[in-house]
Every structure is written in structure tokens, then in C-alpha cells.
Structure 1
Amino acid sequence: MRDLRLTAGRARLPALLLCAGLVLAGPVAGQDEARLVVSNETGEPLVTLPMAEGEGWCLEWNHSVEGFAVLDCYRHSDGRMVLERSHLPDFAAGLDHVPGRGRQVSDGEGGYWIEDLDEPVPGNAYRLRVGGPAVDHRLVVDDERISLSRLAADQPVTVRLVSPE
């Protein structure tokens, strides 16, 4: 009777060599492109998303008094994190347009967008104290929503655009 463990081990050897060759041949996937990284206070990544030049994302949260969703939308532009626009569904506490900072445009539903902000974020990063479940801070990329509140409620995080080296 043949030793099946030895046969199985020999069958895996080419696959292992192929994997080792791929690792040695080039960079790990994703290291040659920019990434959006949300990390906790100790620097541990909680979320890492590829973010190619020209792509964008939003930070969405529920207003602490009114409960409706507010959006700040960013774009990867020439290696920089740039605040592009914000959506405010109401003129609730703390939500008003500052003249000279972008332009206010109706959203057609009683709220408004502040367009053309085009403000580079210093150091391509900002700190955020993530709200609890009622606030539910979340990243929005295309149609995907990632709840930061599920990952780090009531904790500080850093949202950073990391460019390839």
C-alpha cells in the first residue's frame, strides 16, 4: 500500500514553488497602488481599500440631532486626498454653507450640496472620533458602505490616503 501522505506532499510541491516564485518575483498585490487606510489609535489598519488616481469615496454619518445622513466626499487627485464636496440635507445645527468656500447647490429634495470645495487635506490624513451606532460613521465607495462604528465606536481613528512608494 502506498503512503498517501507522501504522494499528496509531492503533488503540493509544484504549487508551493509557484507561490514562492510569485512572492519573490514582484511586490505584494496592492502595494503598487494608492490605498485608503483607516487605522486605530495604535496604527493597526481597520480598513484598507485600493484607491486609484481619480477615484473617490465619502464619509457618511447620521447627524447627532436630526438623524439624517451627512456626506463629505473626497477624491484621490495627483497623489493627494482632496475634499471635493459635502451633502447636507438640512440647515440643522452646525450645517451651513460658509460663503467663499465652494458653492451651494440645491439637491432638489430640500437639502443642498456644497460643490467645488477642492480642499487638499493636510498630510493626506485626518483624525476622526468615530461615533456610536446612532451616528454610524461609514465609508462609502461606489455602492458599498463600511461601518466604522461597527469597527471602532467611540474611538479615534486616522483616515489616510497612502500613495505607493
Structure 2
Amino acid sequence: MDYRGRRSLRARLRGAPGAAILIAIAILIGLALTPLLAPTQAIVDVTARGDAGGTERIARLPATAPITVSYVHSIDGLPIEEELVVRDDEFVVERTRLRQFGAGMGQQAGEGSGHAEGPWWVLEGLDRPIGGALTIRAGEPRIDHRLWAGDRELLLSRCWPRQAITLEIRQISLLQAAWGELRAPHDPRTEECAAEEES
């Protein structure tokens, strides 16, 4: 074959017409990638920060399921569960379950409704916004701070005692979600603290 009469692709793309073609291709690629890069999904990042100041991500939770924070009241020694939902990029306390009204606990007039549920007193419909981030100081093991979301349970007091645990709502793109899961640090302690039941 004789290739002498044909111009190379590089030669054809030189000059103004070639530049216009390359710009058009770049724009099309950008438009195709935009849905992957635009914030489309809310997640809840859970991090632990010790007294030394280092921060580690211990979980990434979907913002679509309720998140329950449970602990044992430090004064009366009775369990409390607070259910949070994510609404408009902030946490909202929807429901609280407690064994009895302990110190500092109780129902405020005009906030939700209460009813008995076995040994628990349940306050529902609280609809109390608390912001886009929540920091909890995980108590000693006897305080038994836990975090539940869907079928995941994190034993905060057992694995991160006396550390600041922060739940933060973030908007991420589909690409970030996929990349974040692939790049999630492998921490055997996180797996142990999420999967094991206490003996």
C-alpha cells in the first residue's frame, strides 16, 4: 500500500479546525464525566480522634438509614438509645428510648409524644435538628457507647474509649463513593469492633 498521499492524524489535527475538534472532544468527555463528579450522595463519615490528635476514619455509613447512638447513663446506670436521621444535610433526633427518666432526661412540652414499649419509655416525633456534625466522647467500657446503622454496630467504648467520635455528613460523587470504598484503610480493629459480640 502507498501511504504517501495520506496525511497523518496528527497533521490533520493541526491548526484551527483541529483545535476545534479537540476542544469539542474534551467538552463531550467533560459532560460525560459530570454525573460521576457532581455531589449526588450523602454519606456519614465516622472518625475517631485520640488525645494525641491523630484522626482515623472508622466507618463510612449511608445517610439513608437511621443511625442509633446508645449508651448507659453515667449517673443512673440505665441504657439510652437516640435515633438520628439525615435530613437536608443535617442530623435530626427523631426518637429516644430510655428505661426511665434519668438525670437530665425527659420529655419537653410540645416535643413529640411518649409511650411505653415493654420496659422502655419511647419519645417519638421529636424532630430536633442538631446540625451536620455530631461529636461524642466515647465513655469508658462501662458506659458502653455504641453506634448502629442498618446491620452495622460499632462498639465505641470498647474499641475507642475516651476518644472523640465525630459523625459528619458529607456529599460525595459516585466516583468518590467508589474510590473511597476501594481506598478505605484496612483496620482489623474496626472489623473486630464492628463484628464481634462482647463475651
TM-score by length of 1: 0.69
Cα distance in 2 between the residues matched to 1:129 and 1:61:
11
Aligned to 2:172: 164
> What is the identity, as a one-letter code, of the residue corresponding to 1:121?
I
Q: Which residue of 1 aligns with 2:188?
A: none
1:76 matched residue in structure 2 = 86
Aligned length: 135
Are 2:131 and 1:119 equivalent residues in the alignment? Answer: no
Shift of 1:113: 1.1
Corresponding residue SS for 1:37: strand
Q: Point out where structure 1 has 5 or more consecutive residues left out of the alignment.
A: 1-24
Matches within 5 A, 1:96-135: 96-109=106-119, 111-122=120-131, 124-135=132-143
2:76 alignment partner AA: E
Shift of residue 70 of structure 1? 0.6
Which 5+ residue runs of structure 2 have no aligned equivalent? 1-32, 174-199
Contact conserved, 2:90 with 2:169, CA < 8 A, in 1? yes
**AA of the residue aligned to 1:114:** L
CA distance in 2: counterparts of 1:105 and 1:140, whole angstroms: 23
Deviation for aligned residue 1:48 = 1.6
Report sequence identity in percent.
27
SS at match of 1:99: coil
Question: Deviation digits for residues 9-65 of structure 1, max 9, x if unmatched?
Answer: xxxxxxxxxxxxxxxx8969xx8532222212344312222223xx21100111223
Task: Quote the residue 2:100 is aligned against.
Answer: 90
AA aligned to 1:67 is G
- Give the structure 2 partner of residue 21 of structure 1: none
Of 67, 73, 84 in structure 1, the residue corresponding to residue 77 of structure 2 is 67
Residues 46, 151 of structure 1: 8 Å contact kept = no
- Aligned equivalent of 1:40, options 45, 48, 72: 48
C-alpha distance in 1, partners of 2:85/2:151? 16
Equivalent position of 1:50 in the other structure: 62
SS in structure 2 of the partner of residue 44 of structure 1: strand
Are the equivalent residues in 1 in contact too, given 2:90–2:133 (CA < 8 A)?
no
Q: CA deviation at 1:99?
A: 1.5
Counterpart-to-counterpart distance in 1, 2:91 and 2:117? 24
What RMSD over aligned residues (CA atoms) do the two structures have, in Å?
2.5
TM-score (norm 2): 0.59
Counterpart secondary structure, 1:96? coil
Residues in 2 aligned to 1:92 and 1:51: alpha-carbon distance in whole angstroms: 30
Return the alpha-carbon distance in structure 2 between the equivalents of residues 33 and 126 of structure 1: 19
* Higher Rg of the two aligned structures: 2
